[in-house]
Every structure is written in structure tokens, then in C-alpha cells.
């Protein structure tokens, strides 16, 4: 099994000619700057790049192609927008909610999303979690039997080989045989089904099946990502009895449109996937041009609820700086004000505390 990284496009010159021909001088200069000084790398699978159109407004192109607007100053930007560092129980293990913990297992992704909220973590080359790193994590899980589910996340775990994943799954399973005898659940958080669907071989799906209870949480933002190969891969997971949740990031200029989102979630339901979260953008550096105003997000979500009923995902945001995930609705906004960074809404945290989120 080869790692997806071996086949990533990492230079503008490697793009298909019709995409290459449309690159602007500003984009070229920005890509050269990223190569020179670091930052979220430019990388895409040839497959995902083949879904893009040359137009700068194309929703696929916008998600992987570096945009000079990433350099615009954003006073609200946070290096660790979710405040995960506050909840590190062991290196790479985030324990923020009582009964589930998140493992930053993967070091790489099958291409980089320009809107990535973990862009500072994934922007640095990093190996997959090693056996030695797993020791304290396993010890923590064994000592915290209240943890019922481990989210295997960030970077993308499916950039590892089946063998490496199997070792990880086995250790997590063995570590945490909870009191009641119900095995700990695994949630594999990935974008690979839409960026590199060939990675979901029969062997990979067989591996997932052997580690049930296991479900996938797949990051999908636009109906065009559900191209035939991705559909086949996702349908094969569902056919193997692996529940698939869909997480979507609301992205200005990509999917901030009720008809596009309704189309996406209907298609997901048709494939047997469960629309789960529609996320308001986190405040990662270099992503402000993707941010949809919160009020607009609320009105889009209201429209989606009418259009989709039970197939409508929950609109949610991670309160900037570590306040946790909250569901967003009209009652989430407690007020508005001015912070040194600019105009904000104050959002109600789970415990009634107030958290600032930019008004635009």
C-alpha cells in the first residue's frame, strides 16, 4: 500500500495544462513565497485537481489552490483556534468532552485545504503517531474509562498504510476495554474519500469492518466533490455497514448558498451518509476570505432546515480559544460589541460564559 503523499501534486507546473494556463502572476508569486518560507503547503492529489475548473471562482480550485488573500492581515486569527492546547491530556491527545477524546494521529493530508483550521499543526511535516508516542496515550485511556470514543484525526489518518492503521486501532481497542465490556468506539476523521477515493480499497474497508464499532466522519464541502469515484468509495463503506457522518465547513465563495448546500446534503442522504455538522469557520490564520458572516450562516441554516428537515445537519461553531462546540441558532447570540480586534458578537458557551466571534 503506497502512501497518498507519494503522488501529491506540489507544484503549479505539475497541474493539468488547462489549470496551469489560468494561474495568475500573483498566485505564482504567492506559491513561490510559501515554498520559500514555509506555511500550509500547496498540495493536491492529481485526482482532486482533475475535478477543478480553471476559473478562480471554481469551488474545487478555491479549496486547494493557494490564494494571495491568505496573506491579508486578520486581527482575529488564532494559531490554535479551537484552543486544543488547553485540553491536551498527553501529547497528541485532546480530551475536552467527558466521554470522547481526539487523537492527532496523522501527520499529513492527501492535499491541503486552504481553509484548514489546523493549518499550523498540519503545515509542519510530522510523522504519523509512533508506538512510543502512543504509550502515554494508551495509559491515559486506560485510566479514563469514561472515554467511550476516540476520534482518530488530524492530519488525515488515511494517509497512513493499512498496516499502520491496524496497529493503531488494535492498540486503542486493547487499551480501553471499558467496565461494561462494550469496546471503545473509533471515529476516523478524514477527507480522503473525496480527495483520494482510490485509497478506500476493499482491504481498507475490510480493516474498518474488523474494528467495528467504527464510523467515519468525512469532510465534504461541495456536491462536485461527490464525483463518481468518491460516490463508489463512500457507497462501499456504507454497504460494509460502516456509518458515515458528513462534516461540512461553510465557506464563502464555495458553498455559502442554500441551493448548493441542499444539493450536497440530499446527495449525501442518497448515498446513505448522515449530514452531521455544518461548521461556521474557525479563526485560523490566512482564512478570513472564506469567512461567511454569522448572521448569513444563520439565515442559510434556517432555509436548509425548511428544505431538508431531518437531513439538515447541525450548524455549529467551536468557540474561539477553547470554549467548545456549540450549536448555533438565533438564541446563540447574546449581544454584540467592540473588541480591540474589531466588531464581534458574544456567543453563549455551554456554561453560560460569553465568547467573542467576529461579526464579519
Ligand X SMILES: *Cc1c(COP(=O)(O)O)cnc(C)c1O
**Rounded Cα–Cα distance for residues 280 and 294 (Å):** 7
**Helical segments of the chain, H only:** 17-20, 25-37, 46-50, 59-64, 119-122, 131-143, 162-175, 192-195, 202-210, 228-239, 258-270, 294-308
DSSP 9: B
Q: Which is nearer to ligand SF4, 5 or 256 (CB)?
A: 5
* Contact residues: ligand SF4, CB under 6 A: 109, 112-113, 116, 118, 122, 154-156, 191, 219
Q: Which of residues 91-120 bind ligand X (CB under 6 A)?
A: 94, 96-97, 100, 102
Using the rule CB under 6 A, give the single segment among 38-46, 89-97, 196-204, 229-237 that binds ligand X.
Answer: 89-97
Q: Does 159 contact ligand X by CB under 6 A? A: no
Residue 142 CB, shortest distance to ligand SF4, in Å, is 27
Residue 151 binds ligand X, judged by CB under 6 A: yes
* Residue keyed to cell 485509497: 199
- In the complex, minimum distance from the CB of residue 187 to ligand X, in angstroms, rounded to a whole number: 8
Q: Which is nearer to ligand SF4, 227 or 333 (CB)?
A: 227
**To 10 degrees, what angle do helices 258-270 and 294-308 make?**
50
Q: Which is nearer to ligand X, 232 or 325 (CB)?
A: 325
Residue with cell 456504507: 238
- 162-175 and 131-143 helices cross at what angle (nearest 10)? 30
Residue 62: name its binding partner from ligand SF4, ligand X, none (Cβ under 5 to 8 Å by kind): none
- Report the partner that residue 97 touches, choosing among ligand X, ligand SF4, none (CB closer than 5 to 8 A by kind): ligand X
User: CA-to-CA distance for 99 and 54, rounded, in angstroms?
Assistant: 45
Q: Give the neighbor-by-neighbor strand order of the sheet with 354-358.
A: 333-339, 342-348, 354-358
**Closer to ligand SF4 by Cβ: residue 49 or 122:** 122
Q: Cβ of residue 97: shortest distance to ligand X, in angstroms? A: 5
Site membership for ligand X, residue 212 (CB under 6 A): no
Residue 100 or 348 with smaller CB distance to ligand X? 100
Q: How far is the CB of 40 from ligand SF4 (least distance, A)?
A: 7
Count helices and strands in the chain by DSSP H and E runs: 12, 13
Output the smallest distance, CB 236 to ligand SF4, in A: 20
CB of 225 to ligand SF4, least distance (A): 12
191 binds, among ligand SF4, ligand X, none (CB under 5 to 8 A by kind): ligand SF4
DSSP letters spanning 56-116: TT-HHHHHHS--GGGGS--TT--SSTT-GGGGEEETTEEEEETTEEEEE--S--SB--TT-
Question: What's the maximum distance between 2 C-alpha atoms anywhere in the chain?
Answer: 61
Partner whose binding site includes residue 155, from ligand X, ligand SF4, none (CB under 5 to 8 Å by kind): ligand SF4
Query: For binding to ligand X (CB under 6 A), which residues are involved?
Result: 82, 94, 96-97, 100, 102, 151, 325
Amino acid at each position: 500500500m503506497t502512501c497518498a503523499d507519494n503522488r501529491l501534486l506540489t507544484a503549479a507546473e505539475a497541474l493539468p495544462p488547462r489549470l496551469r494556463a489560468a494561474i495568475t502572476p500573483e498566485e505564482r508569486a504567492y506559491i513561490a513565497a510559501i515554498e520559500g518560507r514555509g506555511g500550509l503547503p500547496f498540495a493536491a492529489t492529481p485526482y482532486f485537481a482533475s475535478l477543478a475548473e480553471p476559473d478562480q471562482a471554481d469551488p474545487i480550485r478555491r479549496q486547494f489552490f493557494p490564494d494571495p488573500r491568505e496573506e491579508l492581515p486578520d486581527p482575529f486569527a488564532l494559531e490554535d483556534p479551537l484552543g486544543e492546547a488547553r485540553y491536551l491530556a498527553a501529547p497528541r491527545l485532546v480530551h475536552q468532552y467527558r466521554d470522547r477524546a481526539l487523537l492527532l494521529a496523522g501527520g499529513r493530508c492527501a492535499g491541503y485545504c486552504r481553509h484548514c483550521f489546523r493549518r499550523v499543526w498540519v503545515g509542519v511535516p510530522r510523522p504519523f503517531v509512533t508506538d512510543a508516542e502512543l504509550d502515554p496515550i494508551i495509559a491515559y485511556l486506560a485510566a479514563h474509562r469514561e472515554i467511550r470514543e476516540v476520534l482518530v484525526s488530524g492530519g488525515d489518518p488515511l494517509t497512513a498504510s493499512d498496516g499502520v492503521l491496524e496497529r493503531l486501532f488494535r492498540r486503542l481497542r486493547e487499551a480501553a476495554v471499558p467496565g461494561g465490556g462494550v469496546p471503545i468506539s473509533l471515529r476516523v476523521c478524514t477527507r480522503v474519500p473525496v480527495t483520494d477515493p482510490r485509497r478506500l480499497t476493499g482491504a481498507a474497508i475490510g480493516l474498518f469492518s474488523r474494528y467495528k464499532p467504527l464510523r467515519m466522519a468525512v469532510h465534504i464541502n461541495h456536491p462536485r466533490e461527490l464525483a463518481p469515484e468518491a460516490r463508489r468509495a463512500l457507497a462501499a463503506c456504507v454497504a460494509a455497514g460502516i456509518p458515515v457522518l458528513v462534516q461540512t465547513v461553510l465557506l464563502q465563495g464555495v458553498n455559502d448558498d442554500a441551493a448548493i448546500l441542499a444539493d450536497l446534503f440530499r446527495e449525501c442522504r442518497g448515498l446513505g451518509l448522515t449530514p452531521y455538522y455544518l461548521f461556521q469557520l474557525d479563526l485560523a490564520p490566512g482564512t478570513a476570505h472564506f469567512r461567511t458572516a454569522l448572521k448569513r450562516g444563520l439565515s442559510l441554516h434556517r432555509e436548509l432546515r425548511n428544505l431538508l428537515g431531518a437531513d439538515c445537519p447541525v450548524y455549529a461553531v467551536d468557540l474561539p480559544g477553547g470554549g467548545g462546540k456549540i450549536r448555533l441558532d438565533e438564541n446563540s447570540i447574546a449581544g454584540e460589541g467592540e473588541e480591540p480586534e474589531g466588531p464581534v458578537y458574544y456567543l453563549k458557551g455551554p456554561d453560560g460564559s460569553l465568547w467573542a466571534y467576529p461579526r464579519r
